[in-house]
């Protein structure tokens, strides 16, 4: 999957449009966790200007966990951080993960049952355990990242839906 991520097409626009359609059909969630894309991941940053009425939060690696910070201007508030990922500036407001209503989650692969193959460090699995009971977990990927089986382990958190454009 890492080789596919390096060598496959990466047009985020169709996936962003699919996520935007999902958001338009679900106007009630106000706080949405997104992510700053690594190479091979869908770039969701256009959603912030498409959905300015929502509160957008982004993860920041803190030790073995993710802290979520509110972002209003990604150009100035997302800076290079752990593992080369753009993360929120340390002065941006920290958000309680239990208040996040939708998590848009990256991954290397997703299967038909909502299984998610991450990058192996478990950051998202640990963060999603803290989510509130009604929180929606949406995997976001390119179509080539859909696989028959991600071979989930007991600690892996499944997605409620996978959006792939």
In this structure, are residues 95 and 69 in contact, taking their beta carbons and an 8 Å threshold?
A: yes
Q: Roughly how many angstroms between the first and final C-alpha of the chain, as a whole number?
A: 18
Q: Is residue 2's pLDDT more than 90? A: no
Q: What is the pLDDT of residues 104-117, one digit of tens each?
A: 999 999 999 999 99
Q: Provide the CA 148 distance to its chain's centre, in angstroms.
A: 21
Q: What is the pLDDT of residues 33-87, one digit of tens each?
A: 999 998 889 999 999 999 999 999 999 999 999 999 999 999 999 999 978 899 9
d(CA 118, CA 38): 12
Domain 2-163 classification at class level: alpha beta
Task: Record the pTM.
Answer: 0.94
């Amino acid at each position: 999957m890492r080789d596919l991520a390096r060598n496959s097409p990466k047009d985020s626009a169709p996936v962003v449009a699919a996520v935007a359609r999902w958001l338009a059909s679900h106007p009630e969630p106000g706080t949405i966790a997104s992510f700053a894309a690594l190479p091979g991941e869908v770039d969701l940053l256009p959603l912030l200007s498409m959905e300015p009425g929502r509160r957008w939060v982004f993860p920041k690696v803190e030790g073995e966990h993710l802290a979520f910070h509110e972002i209003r201007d990604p150009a100035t508030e997302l800076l290079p951080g752990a593992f080369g990922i753009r993360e929120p500036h340390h002065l941006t407001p920290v958000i309680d993960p239990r208040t996040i209503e939708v998590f848009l989650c990256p991954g290397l692969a997703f299967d038909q049952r909502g299984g998610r193959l991450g990058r192996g460090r478990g950051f998202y699995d640990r963060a999603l355990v803290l989510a509130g009971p009604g929180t929606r977990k949406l995997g976001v990927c390119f179509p080539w990242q859909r696989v028959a089986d991600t071979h989930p382990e007991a600690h892996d958190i499944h997605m409620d839906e996978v959006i792939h454009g």
